[in-house]
Amino acid sequence: MDLSGIISIAGMSGLYKVVAQTKNGLIVESLIDKKRVPVYATNKVSTLEDVRIYSTGDDVPLKEVLQKIYDKEKGGLSVDTKLADVELKKYFKAAFAEFDEDRVYVSDIKKVINWYNTLHKQGLLEKKEEKAADDKLKDEKPKLKAATDGKAGAKTKLKDTSAKPVKTASSKVKTQGVRKTGVA
């Protein structure tokens, strides 16, 4: 779960991804409708990585709370925030039992659940281990290219296309695909 570059802006609903930085602020893209808007230095911006939830012990990073909801829902969407306040508190208590009921308000619970559902719909809540395993499998496949003998219907041979050193007539080793400039 990577929350870097995801922000919340006071006075604007939803979550935004930072696209670029300007002289006077940021250019952000809404995660919901993909519209880009400028955010100026006068706007109050909170990165989700910095948000913490009050608990009975130390404050807990939002990332851990979202992970607990993800585990409770077994990777699915969370409940609707239009439930009664008592039901929302009961749901949040089941997912994150250590939260401080005196300092975490129902409006905060609704915000966290809305953020969870938005991030889930965008696929940003996948575990890093799953993504890393998928990327590793893709990288381990050998780079093979189909080559034919020039005959129609000939059997296809697989050829390794990775760059190999080639000896030239001058007996110097050169790498394929690299162009040398200048005098040797």
| pTM, full prediction | 0.66
Which pLDDT tens digit goes with each residue over 157-177? 444 544 555 555 554 555 555
CA atoms within 13 A on the CB side of 44: 3
Q: Would you kindly state where each structural domain of the chain is located, as residue ranges?
A: 1-49, 51-128
pLDDT of residue 145: 45
Which pLDDT tens digit goes with each residue over 78-137? 888 888 999 999 999 999 989 888 999 999 999 999 999 999 998 888 765 555 455 555
Which pLDDT tens digit goes with each residue over 26-73? 999 999 999 999 999 899 999 999 999 999 989 999 999 999 999 998
Query: Which one, of 8, 77, 16, 78, lies nearest residue 47 by Cα?
Result: 8
pLDDT of residue 180: 56
Contacts of residue 7, defined as CB under 8 A and 6 or more positions apart, other chains included, come to 15, 16, 17, 18, 28, 45, 46, 47, 48
Percent of the chain with pLDDT over 90: 45
Token reading at 135: 């990327």
SS in 3 state form for 88-102? Answer: HHHHHHHHCCCECCC
Which pLDDT tens digit goes with each residue over 145-154? 444 444 454 4
Amino acid (1-letter code) at residue 120: H
- Name the 3-class secondary structure at 87: helix
CATH number attached to the domain at 51-128: 1.10.10.1650
pLDDT of residue 156: 45
CATH of 1-49, one of 3.40.50.2300, 2.30.30.730, 1.20.1250.20, 3.40.50.360: 2.30.30.730
